[in-house]
């Protein structure tokens, strides 16, 4: 089945370009201290008695957000729709296909089982997110909801609080009769933003190193085109009332309340995707375009069990790459 992707109009006015999201996605984050975890409920599986992480008392659009949703791998035939005219054309993604073939060729040349295990985590983000549970397990989480709560509460919030002492994870944005808690909607945004990476189809493996239990990877990957959240918002019938209203709310806040401004941005982007956990926006470029350089460290023990700390998890998911890149780049110099 063809996916619809939208041509980027470079000259379009970007009406809701906020600096706050860029601050989150490009922070030079260090490992953060753990913050308090949200109240959760546990559901026992009769077969293995494993508790399932799930937040209680969630209301509004978050209540129907399917945290178990996963996007399908990309295909090489897509239908593009021109933003203004609505005209369509089909395109074969030749560069994506070539990148996928080159990646498979390189992986077949690797005999070290630890490297192969580490690469399965990268595959689970950029090639086939139907295997995303491998990333969940490596991060010490039981499901996607716990993973994205973990990266937000344990990693991003402490750093945001460090650089902005008045930042509050308890911020709640009220809009048109609905309450949007930041601690609920921030992890939801990072989930759908990660979905987009699953449409990359490949990544460019440049080098790897192994030191004991540590596997160091250098690779390049495509980037999420965050402007497409704004494009998708314009296709909604309630664009003027709902989305432009959010723009006005954000303008009122300005820089006086960073947490609220960030919260409004997340609500805008999630609403552009109808608050659906299996939705996503396009990547940059109409075909494979690897612009992000990752220097990633993954621990793989002698039993073949992989583990990712928060810093490297944030790098892998393109949430914050600078700290991990700075820590691991030296392995390749």
Q: What is the pLDDT of residues 247-298, one digit of tens each?
A: 999 999 988 999 999 999 999 999 999 999 999 999 999 999 999 999 999 9
Q: What is the mean pLDDT of residues 40-49?
A: 43
What is the pLDDT at residue 142? 97
pTM: 0.86
pLDDT digits (tens, 9 = 90+) for 186-243: 999 999 999 999 999 999 999 999 999 999 999 999 999 999 999 999 999 999 999 9
Mean pLDDT over 139-158 rounds to: 97
Looking at every residue in the chain, the average pLDDT score rounds to 87
Beta bridge partners of 204: 220
Task: Give residues with Cβ within 8 angstroms of 183, minimum separation 6.
Answer: 38, 152, 153, 169, 170
* Greatest Cα pair distance in the chain: 58
**Whether the predicted pLDDT of 37 surpasses 80:** no
Question: Can you tell me the distance from the alpha carbon of 223 to that of 187, in angstroms, rounded to the nearest whole number?
Answer: 19
Alpha helices in 37-132 (DSSP H): 94-108, 113-126
- Residue 91's pLDDT band (cuts 50, 70, 90): confident
Predicted confidence at residue 56, as pLDDT, reads 87
pLDDT at residue 125, rounded to an integer: 98
Least confident window among 18-22, 56-60, 61-65: 18-22
Q: Are 266 and 182 in contact (CB under 8 A)?
A: yes
Q: For residues 12 and 231, give the distance between their C-alpha atoms in angstroms, rounded to a whole number.
A: 10
pLDDT at 332: 98
Q: What is the pLDDT of residue 17?
A: 46
Percent of the chain's residues with pLDDT above 70? 84
- What are the counts of helices (DSSP H) followed by strands (DSSP E) for the chain? 12, 11
Tell me the pLDDT band of 51, cut-offs 50, 70 and 90: low
Q: Percentage of the chain surpassing pLDDT 90?
A: 78
Task: Judge whether residue 28 has pLDDT over 80.
Answer: no
The stretch 32-38 carries a mean pLDDT of 34
pLDDT category of residue 78 using cuts at 50, 70 and 90 = confident
Question: What integer is the mean pLDDT of 299-311?
Answer: 97
Average pLDDT of the residues in 298-303? 97
């Amino acid at each position: 089945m063809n996916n619809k992707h939208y041509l980027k109009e470079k000259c379009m006015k970007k009406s809701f370009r906020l600096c706050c999201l860029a601050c989150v996605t490009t922070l030079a984050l260090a490992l953060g201290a753990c913050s308090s975890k949200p109240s959760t409920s546990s559901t026992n599986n009769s077969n293995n008695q494993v508790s399932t992480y799930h937040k209680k008392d969630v209301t509004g659009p978050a209540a129907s957000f399917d945290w178990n949703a996963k996007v399908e791998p990309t295909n090489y035939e897509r239908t593009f729709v021109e933003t203004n005219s609505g005209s369509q054309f089909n395109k074969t993604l030749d560069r994506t296909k070539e990148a996928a073939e080159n990646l498979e060729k390189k992986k077949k040349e690797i005999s070290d089982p630890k490297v192969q295990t580490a690469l399965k985590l990268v595959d689970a983000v950029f090639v086939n997110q139907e295997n995303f549970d491998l990333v969940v397990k490596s991060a010490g989480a039981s499901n996607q909801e716990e993973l994205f709560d973990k990266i937000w509460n344990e990693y991003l919030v402490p750093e945001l609080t460090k650089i902005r002492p008045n930042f509050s994870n308890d911020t709640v944005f009220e809009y048109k009769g609905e309450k949007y808690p930041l601690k609920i909607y921030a992890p939801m945004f990072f989930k759908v933003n990660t979905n987009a990476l699953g449409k990359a189809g490949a990544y460019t493996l440049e080098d790897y190193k192994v030191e004991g239990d540590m596997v160091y990877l250098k690779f390049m990957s495509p980037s999420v085109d965050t402007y497409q959240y704004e494009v998708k918002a314009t296709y909604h019938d309630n664009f003027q009332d709902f989305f432009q209203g959010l723009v006005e709310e954000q303008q009122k806040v300005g820089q006086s309340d960073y947490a609220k401004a960030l919260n409004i941005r997340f609500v805008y982007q999630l609403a552009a995707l109808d608050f659906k956990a299996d939705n996503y926006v396009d990547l940059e470029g109409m075909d494979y375009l690897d612009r992000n350089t990752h220097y990633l460290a993954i621990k793989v023990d002698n039993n073949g069990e992989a583990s990712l700390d928060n810093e490297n998890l944030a790098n892998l998911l393109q949430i914050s790459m600078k700290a991990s890149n700075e820590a691991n780049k030296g392995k390749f110099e």
